[in-house]
Structure 1
Amino acid sequence: MRIFKENPALNSDQKVHWRDLTSSGLALALTEASLNHDGLTVVITNSAKEASYQRGAIEFFSKGQDLPILIFPDWETLPYDIFSPHQDIISGRLKTLAKLPTTKQGILLVPITTIMHRLAPVDFVSSRSFHYQVGDELDRDNLQSQLNKVGYNRVDTVYEHGEFAFRGSIIDIFPMGAKSPFRLDLLDTEVESLRLFDPESQRTIESVQRIDVLPAREFPLDKQSINTFLNKWHDCFDNNPDPCPVYRDVKESIAPQGIEYYSSLFFEKTATLFDYLPENILLFTLNDVETTADQFWNDINTRYTEYGVDPERPLLKPSAVFLTVDKIFHKMKNLPRTKVKMADVVGEAKDSISPVHHVPDVTVNVKLGNPLSKLESFLNSDFDGEQRLKVLFCAESSGRREVLIDLLKSINLSPRDVETWTDFLQQKDNCNICTFPLDEGIFCPENNLCLITESDLFGQQVMQRRRRSAAANSPDYIFKSLAELKVNAAVVHIEHGVGRYKGLVTLEVDKTTQEFLMLTYANDAKLYVPVSSLHLISRFGGGDQSAAPLNHLGSDKWDKAKEKAAKQVRDTAVELLDIYSRRAARNGFSCLPNEQDYLSFSSDFTFEETADQQQAIDAVRNDLLSPQPMDRLVCGDVGFGKTEVAMRAAFTAVSSGKQVVILVPTTLLAHQHLQNFQDRFSNWPVVVEELSRFKTNKQQDQVIAAVEQGNVDILISTHKLLHAEINFSNLGLMIIDEEHRFGVRQKEKIKSFRTEIDILTMTATPIPRTLNMSMHSIRDLSIIATPPAKRLSVKTFVRKYESRVVREAALREILRGGQVYYLHNDVKSIQRVADELSDLIPEATVNIAHGQMRERHLEQVMSDFYHQRFNFLVCTTIIETGIDIPSANTILIDRADKFGLAQLHQLRGRVGRSHHQAYAYLMLPKEKKVTADANKRLQAISAADQLGSGFTLATNDLEIRGAGELLGEEQSGHIQTIGFTLYLEMLDRAITALKDGEKLTLDTSLESGIEVNMHLPALIPDDYLPDVNMRLTLYKRISDCKTSRDLHELQVEMIDRFGLLPETTKTLFKLAEIKQIGTTLGLKKIEAGPKGGRLQFTPNTPVEPITIIKMVQTEPDIFRLQNNDQLSFTLPLNDAENRFMFVSNVFDKLLAKP
């Protein structure tokens, strides 16, 4: 069945316009047009985002059909950028260019801005490509020569596109255009086998028959091409080329960063994308591509004018790198072009009115008695006489699909599973469901068809994103999670004390199969804890695990230890709340910025905020608008957007008439912040100044005078500010960057400011004392743990020092045009080490940087490194904070065992600031042994290789160092007895009780939760999830869920990750939901079995006694009251579903008002 019956332009004389199309409707129309055309369909979009959306939607509508979908990706760099595109992008572009000339049918999606770049000649890719098949003869030397010629780098271990390795008869290659690297196994000179392998684990994925090798770049770098480049450089530029890093690198056969904008110099003549296209194409242009092209051409010329004046990096004229707008549209004139307008445009030709519309309003409203009333009304509408509407629901994932099916049951819909859009059209059933991450549905009234997505139902995008859940980013979750629990680790059971975790075991109790944590105590006594009681278990934390004092089961020592700790907790809670209340009682300043100005400033941010970043921005802004002084800690990994949070805060304060001071630990960071803030505030009447040793004494005096007169709005300063006597005109906000880098006296000085103004502290790894205060709620905490789009985690290696490893790591980076940090933290020997490295790696241009250099010299060195005038920096920890050099993506840290966790994390954060894969090598001495604590630190830093792991590392640091130094000796004794995690929980409960005005009793701190036993198997089977640690983590997460929504989201996540839930796991979730409701009812125990059960109430239950009495009086055969605190019930409940339903009904009666 064809929905969209209008034909596209079939020759260049036709003028065809398609109008009024939705995004998904357009994808359907393009799919149908392409399937009915014997040739390539080219779709030119306004942006890469639009191309990406259309690609996904076309995949949905064409699934099951033989329709290749090609995308020619944008470089994702700015015109004349000094950085190169990511290797994966180059790989995708080369793959498309290789396929285009021979593509018989399919769709090509390409942004208009991408078409405007000049390309290599059409025969470039094909002439430098080759392939091998199983059984082919292969000469190793000839293959190495081929790979070198087309730009591949030889390494020891293959990780990235464009690399190869030889190991005896094994050859590893990661070809451009391939999703995974290949492993060739030779038998003498014959290819015996070909396998794909995982670059992370280096393990085989599957066997294949053929490998296709494309060139490594979009330009050649052989001797002939280099000579062409050098000659054409002289033709284009008159100045001396020797000081130009680009010219020098190419001369040395190195492809520098940003070389793509000089790539036309490698060829006698360039080509355009139109030259690559086969004959007989259909051309579609979406919306107003002409305006987009004009804007891009203006941007090109603006950047050429601004950046073309640097004699060290002269720029080619725009026409030598890009196609003009006139040339682009002149080439389109000779092609059959269909213009697509997504909205009605007055005066345009009206050759087509779309039969595809937006889905009517069918949004779910949970506040209504029937949340699906709008959907039900729409489905029951009379569309075409007797013919009923045929509908396809589209769920984002298999987990969401199960949820949607349950939801539709409430209006008596039982959708049938279909795989594809084509299956749906052929299906006779009126209600169907499929799984695909589609963002927008379609309604075709002429055909009585409707596709309804989750976005249509829930009114917002529910696209699956590769990011951790908000709960997993919460400080509480990270600290209390059992995810890292190892066998023999110390744990605390709230009722039995400190024991050792020995693993998960499955036991049958009362004919019911359950999974238990096995704990051992003193004298090898064993305790089996059901997974449904994991809320009673916490990590010991806060000290040496091996020295944790194991308790005796049945002894009263644990109860006494808890009582002592509870008394001390009460005193600490009172003291902390006193600090909190004194702060809250102070008269702060409420910022009142102009809302329109703030929105305008926010819109200047050139990136899309991540969810975590936006939450941090909102939290800080709300703090500033409140009259209570702010004291907030924002923890986020390097490059995750903390600076933008600070900038929004600064704008809010400055636009409310307040001055802002930004305290940074180093001169280099102060200078970089100055440049960033001046650039970000350039469109606003805001004066930004710097106070650091980069300024002379006279300049510093001038800045201080301007600050005191109120002529400086934002002051960026090192610790000099803390020693200077400055009388601010109207200071309102202090932003502290990397507080852990300041000394004790400096921190005391900072503390004095806290009594008067708003304080915002930013850090990648909070020092444990700061972390501890945040976890006590005395300082507010925001965590930014979601990486920016396309950011890759830094691959971290712990290695004994070997010159071979150093050389390979450096060459891997230098040969891809990047830069290297080599950290050697000893000024006395740094020059000697630099000289040795120059000898070891002659391909590198080496320089040094350390804190004892003269300020101007240091500034010049860092400026030269930023501008890529050299590529290998031997330095001390002076680079630890804030130096942002996106092209530096490898760091080698000498004597890594000498650094703390926070420092290692900061240093590793100097690389990986772009979307290139970055590497960190933690080098250890060959001969010397490292200490146990150093080993723990190195294990923690190498294990925490996920993006956003700074907060997790801080909790590791807390455990490695122990809690005594944080809270003082008195608390330390209790913490060592009951464990840090339980101590924190008790303290949190005590603080909450005091805040709520409740009387603080021992029970407040020692509450042990609710016990539920439904006499049903409730576990995550090991055949469903074999990973014991993952099962334990999920048990803990289920146990810690606070709302039914939390449970619901976790179910969705598990179905997406591991498949449909087994019955025993569904039961586990039902038990968790019963526990939640039971907690609100003040229940201590819930038990239900085949013959009945009982509910036991706590003394402070909110249930009215009259409610219970009425239940007993109304149904005396079922309910009985026992011991004044128990309600028993007797009736047959053999069926599990009936058992849950009965308990749920009892809850409803207890919740009802008398």
Structure 2
Amino acid sequence: MEEFLERLAASGYERVSQVTTRGQFAVRGGIVDLYSWQTSLPFRLEFFGDQIESLREFDIDTQTSVRDLRSIDILLNQGAAVSSTPGRSGDRPSLIEDQSGNVRDYVRERDLIIDVEPDGISNAHIQISEGWIETGPEDFSGAFQDCELGEFGAGDLVLAEAKRAQFVERLKEWRANNARIVIYFQTEGEIERFREIMVGTVEGVGFVEGTLARGFSFPAANLVILSAAELFGRFAVHPRRLLRLRRAERHRAQIDFSELTEGDLVVHLEHGIGRFLELTKVGRARPPGATESTDGPAVRSYKDEQQEVLAIEFADEAKLYVPLEQAYLVSRYVGAGKKSPPLSSLGDGKWARAKIKAAASIFDYAGKMLTVQAERQMQPGYAFTPDTKWQAEFERSFPFRETPDQMKAIIDTKIDMERPRPMDRLICGDVGFGKTEVAVRAAFKAVMEGKQVAVLAPTTVLAQQHFEVFRQRMLEYPVRIEMLSRFRSHSEQKKVLQLLREGGVDIVIGTHRLISGDLVFKDIGLVVIDEEQRFGVLHKEKFKELFKLVDVLTLSATPIPRTLYLSLVGVKDMSTIETPPLNRLPVETVVSAYDERIVRAAIDRELERQGQVFFLHNRVASIERVRERIVHLCPQARVEIGHGQMDADELEAVMARFIAGKTDVLVCTTIIESGLDIPNANTIIIDRADQFGLADLYQLRGRVGRAEHKAYAYLLLPREMMTVGAARKRISAIKQYSSLGAGFRIAMRDLEIRGAGSILGTAQSGHILAVGFDLYCQLLKQAVAQLKGQKAGLRLDVDVRLDFVVTNEAEFIAPPTKPSGFPAAAKTPVPERIPAFIPVAYVSDPAMRIRSYREIAEITSREQLERLRRDWRDRFGAFPPAVDSLFALVEIKLAAAESGVSRVEVRERKVMLTRHGDFILVAGKFPRLVGSKIDQHLPEIVELIKKL
């Protein structure tokens, strides 16, 4: 096994604590995870000594195995020796050690040779041949001279999305060259839709039902392959990727302590708000009455017994060292805004009072919400009929395979509409995740039943975007859609108002103009409110008054934390769409010192491909100077300014021009609107990126990056900050997490807390500030469950103290020394004890060990326990006795919680169980453990509790 690991390292594979990308490997005891360069999924090899016991593929998102394998191929270099030739990288392996040969020796008759970018490969051959390999590039290319096909090109198709005229012209060109044309569609419905739209222009074109992300051409074979994705401007979800997303949904990663930096605020469940200092090692605490022993060198002193701890600072510079096995008590602090709370004082009782006060307020809040829900269910409303044939046909015409959570949101919405009570559902999800399609289908369902629909947006620009989307989707159907905004003249608005009264308009889209007194509907059945939190309080009260008995669907681009969502289940009708559009290219992140040459090159490159640029400069006082500088650097660019201190109408006009493509570069503050969909803006340059938090950077970078274009984010720092400081760490993290799902790993709490204010209201913000977001959500979930008469499903609150169990590795390795003054002649044996912890040898990475302790602490059911057992067995290998005992302790807690036992204590085999503050006696006395072997005691306690 060691030789294999050395070979991996010598071949350029990077050793990490957890495999996340190709070219990495990780070792955990006898488990080796490896992501080979040529495979779609990583491998998991389980060794016993030098023998491989099993081979498995595992999922990179969930880190769990998905399939057993009989054999695997791994790309390694021929030799494992490290090159020491002067002038070469010291850690780069020699490519050829003792063997020599030509590529021709490895080419078989049945092999297809694809030469990608032959010019680039030829240049690389020349460089390699200068000292690395004896044979030159002419020998390499000679290997392919006997290939039948020879050289051909395969290029991407540059086809602007949804532009039919351009497509028809390209079609004519291909036909003129007698090219064979084939188009791939996701569904039969897409093919029918395409035939209807392109009637009379697609003769001789082949249609295939299947999955293809992008089209390409083979000029040598005179073949053109297209995908419906490019024709419709939509991109499909690959079924295998969907499966991975579903698994990832169940294993949503949390922020761990490896991502905390010095000075970050944390919450200790028992002691309050503190400041994280470091992950360190300290000497084991001395038991009461014990002193250092001087009987001989064989006995270790307490200060030599090191254990890993989290160092946390509280008020008055008091420090608390939290052992890793108790790390689950600590979570990152997230409040309700930028205000930081004071540090808690250890032992003064204020933290306990704050928790009690917050719990009382949350209980009252949850009660009011449940009352409102009950009242709404009592009100009469309109029950829509089940879907019609037209509805099914309309939904089939959607040229995009719905993601699972998008489909669930659609189904939930339609079920609500078909109930005889007014709907009030909230749909949460980021821009481009498919919220609008949920609203479009709901609106179509209402219109098919003769009802009118109103769509409210907070800004004219957003209203215009919705108008275009609704009109495009319903183009082939007899649905009249109008817009009311200041983009329409007074006479046009007057005409729309009249048609609304008469029932001549089916769907009206607009801003707060829709809730003015002169607007009357003939028969309104559905109201869609986009970005409700951006409307004022008076507008919201008006909504409630006007649409009390009408179905209401609210859309929000503010992501909701999953923890908050689960806490509110059963209180609000809410759907979250968390799956990003797939086949979207990750944003390429460049970190650099501020350099005007980089700024100019980034803008020029984007403009060359007819794109647009955000230049983020978050200081209004100097923003005009920055605009002038960019105009000087890029005189061909049309540059405008946008910031929050501008007049609202002026800012809206600026944004409208940018969306319309009339502006090339928008120099702006963080005013960039979260709800706007600007697919043509695919470069963002962030000046002074060091002044933003990790979550802010992630959010801002998310403003660019569409499926059909590679997007770029430039994070510019002052030169002196390029190598040091917390800002550099944040920048490195944002660069590392370029994947689209990374938001849930690095910014779930920081970024998504934005949703708490708009959903919970400002009255609850003070309690979030006082106790932190995580604890707030726990208390809210508990309150909701209690009010509904259900089990809360929170962490098991059972105090377990067993004198024969050691939960600290340092203490188990070095048992306590005897108290001072103990007679030297006495030979009292150290009592036998059971280890119950995660050994360093089993999980060596501290951050991963913390996550593992958190996972085991959050178990609330036997199903979760068994799932975690399988997961750990798969990821870390066979359990050592200490881990078996750790799971046994959880079984004791589960059994105790089910029996109402709050404390389990064992002293010298005497079992003391506490329920409702009283000891539980059996036949008038404490029960005793009777097993002759110590490893029988834990299951014996479980059985004893179950019999109560």
- TM-score bracket for the superposition, by shorter chain length: 0.5 to 0.7
2:470 partner letter: F
> CA separation of 1:916/1:1042 partners in 2, compared to 1, >3 Å: closer, same or farther?
farther
> Do structure 1's residue 982 and structure 2's residue 775 form an aligned pair?
yes
> Do structure 1's residue 805 and structure 2's residue 598 form an aligned pair?
yes
Match of 1:470, SS state, is helix
- Tell me the distance in 2 between the aligned counterparts of 1:898 and 1:500: 20
Summarize the alignment of residues 476-487 of structure 1 with structure 2, pairs less than 5 Å apart. Answer: 485-486=260-261
- Tell me the distance in 1 between the aligned counterparts of 2:886 and 2:937: 14
Summarize the alignment of residues 767-786 of structure 1 with structure 2, pairs less than 5 Å apart. Answer: 778-786=571-579
| Aligned equivalent of 2:430, options 626, 637, 640 | 637
> CA separation of 1:572/1:874 partners in 2, compared to 1, >3 Å: closer, same or farther?
closer
Is the 8 Å Cα contact of residues 734 and 758 (structure 1) preserved in structure 2? yes
Is the 8 Å Cα contact of residues 694 and 855 (structure 1) preserved in structure 2? no
Cα distance, 1:603 vs. partner? 3.2
> CA separation of 1:620/1:959 partners in 2, compared to 1, >3 Å: closer, same or farther?
closer
> CA separation of 1:462/1:272 partners in 2, compared to 1, >3 Å: closer, same or farther?
closer
> CA separation of 1:935/1:995 partners in 2, compared to 1, >3 Å: closer, same or farther?
farther
Equivalence for 1:918:
711
Is the 8 Å Cα contact of residues 637 and 665 (structure 2) preserved in structure 1? yes
| Aligned equivalent of 2:108, options 104, 109, 121 | 104
- Tell me the distance in 1 between the aligned counterparts of 2:875 and 2:835: 22
Cα distance, 1:643 vs. partner? 1.9
- Tell me the distance in 2 between the aligned counterparts of 1:220 and 1:607: 21
> CA separation of 1:744/1:806 partners in 2, compared to 1, >3 Å: closer, same or farther?
farther
| Aligned equivalent of 2:583, options 760, 770, 790 | 790
Is the 8 Å Cα contact of residues 793 and 917 (structure 1) preserved in structure 2? yes
> Do structure 1's residue 132 and structure 2's residue 124 form an aligned pair?
yes
Cα distance, 1:1009 vs. partner? 0.8
1:470 partner letter: E
In structure 2, stretches of 5+ residues that fail to align are: 1-65, 76-102, 135-139, 144-149, 204-215, 225-237, 288-301, 643-647, 806-833
> Do structure 1's residue 676 and structure 2's residue 469 form an aligned pair?
yes
1:1046 partner letter: Q
> CA separation of 1:877/1:569 partners in 2, compared to 1, >3 Å: closer, same or farther?
closer
Equivalence for 1:1080:
898
- Higher relative contact order structure (alpha carbons within 8 Å, sequence separation ≥ 6): 2
Equivalence for 2:334:
541
Equivalence for 2:552:
759
| Aligned equivalent of 1:729, options 519, 522, 526 | 522
| Aligned equivalent of 2:798, options 999, 1010, 1016 | 1010
> CA separation of 1:1013/1:1087 partners in 2, compared to 1, >3 Å: closer, same or farther?
same
> Do structure 1's residue 738 and structure 2's residue 531 form an aligned pair?
yes
- Tell me the distance in 1 between the aligned counterparts of 2:530 and 2:247: 26
| Aligned equivalent of 1:465, options 236, 240, 244 | 244
Summarize the alignment of residues 6-45 of structure 1 with structure 2, pairs less than 5 Å apart. Answer: none
Deviations 1:212-259 (A, max 9, x none): 9x99985699xxxxxxx9xxxxxxxxxxxxxx999xxxxxxxxxxx99
- Tell me the distance in 2 between the aligned counterparts of 1:965 and 1:608: 30
Cα distance, 1:1131 vs. partner? 2.5
> CA separation of 1:1143/1:135 partners in 2, compared to 1, >3 Å: closer, same or farther?
same
Match of 1:469, SS state, is helix
> Do structure 1's residue 1039 and structure 2's residue 850 form an aligned pair?
no
Tell me the TM-score normalized by structure 2: 0.62
- Tell me the distance in 1 between the aligned counterparts of 2:319 and 2:846: 20
Equivalence for 1:252:
none
Cα distance, 1:1034 vs. partner? 3.4
Is the 8 Å Cα contact of residues 786 and 947 (structure 1) preserved in structure 2? no
| Aligned equivalent of 2:417, options 620, 624, 633 | 624
| Aligned equivalent of 2:932, options 1111, 1123, 1132 | 1132
Match of 1:465, SS state, is helix
Equivalence for 2:346:
552
- Tell me the distance in 1 between the aligned counterparts of 2:312 and 2:540: 43
Is the 8 Å Cα contact of residues 849 and 874 (structure 1) preserved in structure 2? yes
Is the 8 Å Cα contact of residues 825 and 876 (structure 1) preserved in structure 2? yes
2:244 partner letter: R
Deviates more, 1:1005-1014 or 1:802-811: 1005-1014
> CA separation of 1:907/1:216 partners in 2, compared to 1, >3 Å: closer, same or farther?
farther
Equivalence for 1:423:
none
> CA separation of 1:858/1:812 partners in 2, compared to 1, >3 Å: closer, same or farther?
closer
Deviates more, 1:827-836 or 1:773-782: 827-836
- Tell me the distance in 2 between the aligned counterparts of 1:635 and 1:975: 21
- Tell me the distance in 2 between the aligned counterparts of 1:611 and 1:514: 45
Summarize the alignment of residues 984-1003 of structure 1 with structure 2, pairs less than 5 Å apart. Answer: 984-996=777-789
Cα distance, 1:542 vs. partner? 1.8
Deviations 1:6-28 (A, max 9, x none): xxxxxxxxxxxxxxxxxxxxxxx
- Tell me the distance in 1 between the aligned counterparts of 2:385 and 2:691: 48
Match of 1:1130, SS state, is coil
> CA separation of 1:126/1:532 partners in 2, compared to 1, >3 Å: closer, same or farther?
closer
> Do structure 1's residue 840 and structure 2's residue 736 form an aligned pair?
no
Summarize the alignment of residues 885-924 of structure 1 with structure 2, pairs less than 5 Å apart. Answer: 885-893=678-686, 908-914=701-707, 916-921=709-714
- Tell me the distance in 2 between the aligned counterparts of 1:783 and 1:552: 39
Is the 8 Å Cα contact of residues 884 and 913 (structure 1) preserved in structure 2? no
| Aligned equivalent of 1:302, options 185, 191, 198 | 198
- Tell me the distance in 2 between the aligned counterparts of 1:907 and 1:216: 42
Cα distance, 1:721 vs. partner? 1.8
> CA separation of 1:962/1:771 partners in 2, compared to 1, >3 Å: closer, same or farther?
closer
Match of 1:606, SS state, is coil
- Tell me the distance in 1 between the aligned counterparts of 2:758 and 2:442: 35
Cα distance, 1:888 vs. partner? 3.6
> CA separation of 1:524/1:124 partners in 2, compared to 1, >3 Å: closer, same or farther?
closer
Is the 8 Å Cα contact of residues 797 and 922 (structure 1) preserved in structure 2? yes
Summarize the alignment of residues 246-261 of structure 1 with structure 2, pairs less than 5 Å apart. Answer: none
Is the 8 Å Cα contact of residues 540 and 982 (structure 1) preserved in structure 2? no
> CA separation of 1:861/1:1070 partners in 2, compared to 1, >3 Å: closer, same or farther?
same
Is the 8 Å Cα contact of residues 492 and 498 (structure 1) preserved in structure 2? yes
Summarize the alignment of residues 364-763 of structure 1 with structure 2, pairs less than 5 Å apart. Answer: 465=244, 469-471=248-250, 485-486=260-261, 489-501=264-276, 503=279, 519=312, 521=314, 536-542=329-335, 547-553=341-347, 555-594=348-387, 598-723=391-516, 725-753=518-546, 755-763=548-556
Is the 8 Å Cα contact of residues 154 and 219 (structure 2) preserved in structure 1? no
Deviates more, 1:884-893 or 1:564-573: 564-573
Cα distance, 1:1022 vs. partner? 4.1
Is the 8 Å Cα contact of residues 495 and 1008 (structure 1) preserved in structure 2? no
> CA separation of 1:1050/1:874 partners in 2, compared to 1, >3 Å: closer, same or farther?
same
* Percent identity over paired residues: 36
Equivalence for 1:1142:
940
- Tell me the distance in 2 between the aligned counterparts of 1:328 and 1:935: 49
Cα distance, 1:804 vs. partner? 1.6
- Tell me the distance in 1 between the aligned counterparts of 2:421 and 2:268: 39
1:675 partner letter: E
Is the 8 Å Cα contact of residues 679 and 706 (structure 2) preserved in structure 1? yes
2:894 partner letter: Q
2:428 partner letter: C
2:582 partner letter: A
Match of 1:736, SS state, is strand
Is the 8 Å Cα contact of residues 936 and 960 (structure 1) preserved in structure 2? no
Is the 8 Å Cα contact of residues 638 and 906 (structure 1) preserved in structure 2? no
- Tell me the distance in 2 between the aligned counterparts of 1:628 and 1:1011: 46
- Tell me the distance in 2 between the aligned counterparts of 1:1084 and 1:933: 43
Cα distance, 1:500 vs. partner? 4.8
| Aligned equivalent of 1:1098, options 915, 918, 934 | 915
Is the 8 Å Cα contact of residues 895 and 923 (structure 1) preserved in structure 2? yes
Paired residue total: 752
Is the 8 Å Cα contact of residues 414 and 442 (structure 2) preserved in structure 1? yes
Is the 8 Å Cα contact of residues 895 and 946 (structure 2) preserved in structure 1? no
